[in-house]
Amino acid sequence: MTKQRLTIVKIGGKIIDDPLRLDVFLESFSTLSGPRILIHGGGKVASDLAAKLGVDQRMYNGRRITDIESLKIVTMVYAGLINKQIVAKLQVLGQNAIGLSGADFNLLTAIKRSPGVVDYGYVGDFHKGSAHTENLAYLLKKGIPVFCSIVHDGKGHLLNVNADTLAAELAASLSGLFETHLYYCFEKKGVLMQYDDDNSVIPQLNQQRYNELKIYNAVKHGMIPKLENAFTALNGGATSVCIIQDNALIQSVKNPKNHGTTISLY
């Protein structure tokens, strides 16, 4: 039997930070048909709140170290403020959105990362069986799951995860039930050959090419984790992954080859 197409879209923090841009994005998202999942990043609201509260934001290799106070802040901002604002906006657009963390319906469990060179605190990593795909499929029959990047460990604790990684995990896990297509929407036009040249989009990128570019330091500026997540999704069974600008979503769904960067294994 042919699997039904499932469109999984992740929007980055810079789109969340710009209310007008977010509205435009949500309008285009709502014109797509068929089952869909939206995943949102955090933006700078959490950092702003941490600064106001005098909670130090420590980073390591571009990743936030999530101590207990930071966990409270991201839970409030991501699962509370941003998530419910997006859900309310989608409802106006006739989209039956339901805002979710991984704890809700036990949808996504992660394991707290063990301290290594650095202790990342309340940060989670996914494992085999992280996603409760049956419960997620049940929600997909009635509406549009909207995920923030807070999950739980199944032992009563919340954990912060990377939103790109969460999107990849869903695209991979749900590939058993659906033909999953993952779109990473952000402020750039795709993966760029030169970071400051918007016209240097790499249209297609496979694993081998990516490895070569990495050796020559041609891929950087936070793009490496996003690409690693893209390959994780594909290796896990996702049908396609595109890295595109937020305003290119509709066109990319119609014709991925002409927009942003299409990621493939081979």
Give dist(CA 166, CA 144) in Å, integer: 16
Choose the stretch contacting its own copies; rule: CB under 8 A; options: 8-16, 154-162, 188-196, 199-207: 154-162
Give dist(CA 105, CA 137) in Å, integer: 11
Q: Which string of x and - marks every residue 157-186 that binds its own copies (by CB under 8 A)?
A: xx----------------------------
Contact 75, 88 (CB under 8 A): no
Choose the stretch contacting its own copies; rule: CB under 8 A; options: 27-35, 68-76, 200-208, 233-241: 68-76
Q: Which string of x and - marks every residue 36-65 that binds its own copies (by CB under 8 A)?
A: ----------------xx------------
Choose the stretch contacting its own copies; rule: CB under 8 A; options: 137-145, 181-189, 205-213, 244-252: 137-145
Q: Which listed residue (3, 51, 127, 154) binds its own copies by CB under 8 A?
A: 154
DSSP strands (E only) in the chain: 4-11, 36-40, 59-60, 63-64, 97-100, 111-112, 124-125, 144-147, 150-152, 158-160, 178-186, 204-206, 240-245, 261-264
Query: What DSSP state is assigned to residue 3?
Result: P
**Residue 90, token pair as written in the block:** 């989608």
Q: Residues in the site for its own copies, rule: CB under 8 A? A: 52-53, 72, 75-81, 83-85, 87-89, 91-92, 96-101, 103-106, 135, 138, 142-143, 150, 152, 154-158
